[in-house]
Amino acid sequence: MRSENVVLNEILPSSVKWSKIIKRGQTIQLKAKGNNASLSAMFYNASNVAERFNSADTVKIQWNAFLNKNNVLFSEMGRVLFAITDDSTDGLFDTLAGISNPRIIKENFKEEATYDSCRNAYYKSDRENFLIELGKYGMGKKDMIPALNLFRKVDVKGGSNLELNPRCAKEGDIIELTAHMDVLLVLSNTPHVMDKTGVYNPSDIEISIFESLPFKDEDYADFSDEAKRGFQNTNRYFV
């Protein structure tokens, strides 16, 4: 479901934020450049940012809180923002834990790291990164949504207790997301909110965007009936 023609290739360094509009039919590939990859993502209908990723509906509609290849990421309108079209991590997605803020970063990473001491490498939180990046599009606190965390997974133990799975992505692992709408994607390359290792060193991420391809019926063959209805709903939006 992707072209071999790359229209953008760049590196997202540790602690840094990133955003881009991914056009309908384009695929974005996220590749871990080390063994400690961790990304948080928020994303919106680029034509109407009031429509955005809905984590609860994504889980509910697909009967699964643990995402993998051939799952989709729904908006609150029941349309597909992204389809997960490749994943070498075997399901390192987290829909449950949320994002970090300055207080959590200070608690989880005890070492002193401020802008004065580290300049641009200081220990940033997801909240800081997202608010700065969303501001570029005229958005703010009211537009913050439950994020999708990539390259890490949270387990549910004892019915309701969340625990960060110790498994991490390996260097070279990829996640590919194919846009079914024009999607404003915002990324924050920071440690997972539940990471208590005390070492702030999320791996760099290589970002590649492949040019758009038209969708065909056979592209949906391996997706669930619920996802297929989402694709149909999305396609009607563009008629």
pLDDT digits (tens, 9 = 90+) for 171-204: 999 999 999 999 999 999 999 999 998 889 899 9
pLDDT digits (tens, 9 = 90+) for 16-38: 999 999 999 999 999 999 999 99
Using CA atoms, how far residue 22 sits from 11, 43, 181, 194, 214, in Å, is: 17, 10, 8, 29, 14
pLDDT digits (tens, 9 = 90+) for 70-110: 999 999 999 999 999 999 999 999 999 999 998 998 888 87
How much is the pLDDT for 116? 65
Given a cut of 70, is residue 205 above it in pLDDT?
Answer: yes
Report d(CA 152, CA 99) in Å as an integer.
12
* Average pLDDT, integer, range 38-47: 98
Report d(CA 238, CA 181) in Å as an integer.
9
How much is the pLDDT for 121? 60
At residue 57 the predicted structure's pLDDT band, cuts being 50, 70 and 90, is very high
How much is the pLDDT for 11? 98
Question: CA torsion angle for 86, 194, 32, 176 (degrees, to 10)?
Answer: 20
- Biggest CA pair distance of the chain: 54
- The residue ranges of DSSP E strands in the chain, in sequence order, are 6-12, 17-22, 27-32, 39-45, 72-74, 80-87, 93-94, 148-150, 154-157, 161-164, 174-179, 183-188, 205-210
Residue 215 tokens, joined: 């969708």
Given a cut of 60, is residue 119 above it in pLDDT?
Answer: no
* Average pLDDT, integer, range 56-78: 96
Q: Is 159 exposed, middle or buried (0-12, 13-18, 19+ CB in 10 A)?
A: exposed
pTM of the model: 0.94
Can you tell me whether residue 29 is helix, strand or coil? Answer: strand
Given a cut of 70, is residue 225 above it in pLDDT?
Answer: yes
In one-letter notation, the amino acid at residue 126 is D
Residue 104 tokens, joined: 């959590």
